[in-house]
Amino acid sequence: MDPIAPVTPLPSASILLIRDGLRGLEVMMMKRAETMRFAPGVYVFPGGKVDEGDHRSYFWRKYISPEAQFDDLALRIAVLRELYEEAGILYTEGQCTRHIGARSSLSSALAYAQDYLAVEQLIPFSHWITPIQAGRRFDTLFYLAPLYREEEGVEDGSEMIAKRWVRPKELLKNWRKGDIPIMFPTRLNLERLSKASSVAEALKQAPHHPVMPILPEYKLCNEAEPKLFIPAEAGFGITEATAQDIAAEAKIMTRMKATRQAQQITRKQLHRDE
């Protein structure tokens, strides 16, 4: 294989689960475990890559409404499966968010709840592709989804170790102070979401946001450090990442490298002990 060929991005999906809090619109964020290969220790939206089973529409048909017809059905199933596996939240048409059991499969939980998976309540929000320079890449569709009932989910403790409901503006404020690292796509999704003050307002605005594949591009522009650009048509009001964005990305990449090195050392030690 060509050593300089970019890694093929894996199809994936993430969810911006929103609710009306006491002080305004809130979104659920989860902290990734420090042992994760991608973005360890970073706050992200729940989600993950599409599994082979997510494409089995013939299997999932009994768990979704007969009226639910989507070209991106596998992505919708994947993101709600990940939401259940990572956060213990079963997102159904009846908003059955009760945690059924950490070891229950999504299909078993749906059968127990006797409700349909609410794939039709997901609204495409943005579409990001990891830059070609990355060693691990994802082609991720982000969905917006309202939560009207109090959630009772429990994080899985392996991939995700903490869960927070936060106001987008508050989290962005902490990011600007340097208190929390956020990936560039996450930051811009939060900026877009922060324009709404309630769930109703966010749902009203969502269909007007352009949803196009965004592939951030690093370029050298007569400076020692590269700059990161996105197309103006993406609709985020900017075309260039800030120095803080790039610094945060670099910090996250450093964490990823350290995690990989630690895992390699552990594997070597285990191999020697065999």
The per-residue pLDDT for range 111-160, each reduced to its tens digit, is 888 899 999 999 999 999 999 988 889 999 999 999 987 655 544 444 45
Please check whether residue 194 is in contact with residue 18, taking contact to mean a CB–CB distance below 8 angstroms: no
Instruction: Give pLDDT tens digits for 229-262.
Output: 999 999 999 999 988 888 777 766 665 555 455 4
Calculate mean pLDDT across residues 75-83.
97
Query: What are the extents of the domains in the chain?
Result: 10-273
Structure tokens at 266: 């552990």
174: exposed, middle or buried (Cβ count in 10 Å: 0-12, 13-18, 19+): middle
Contacting residues for 195 by C-beta, under 8 A, at least 6 apart: 205
Nearest to 45 by CA among 75, 81, 86: 86
Q: Please, is 199 exposed, middle or buried when counting C-beta atoms within 10 Å of its C-beta (0-12, 13-18, 19+)?
A: buried
Strands (E), 105-175: 123-129, 138-146, 160-166
Domain 10-273 has CATH 3.90.79.10: yes
What pTM, to 2 d.p., does this model score?
0.85
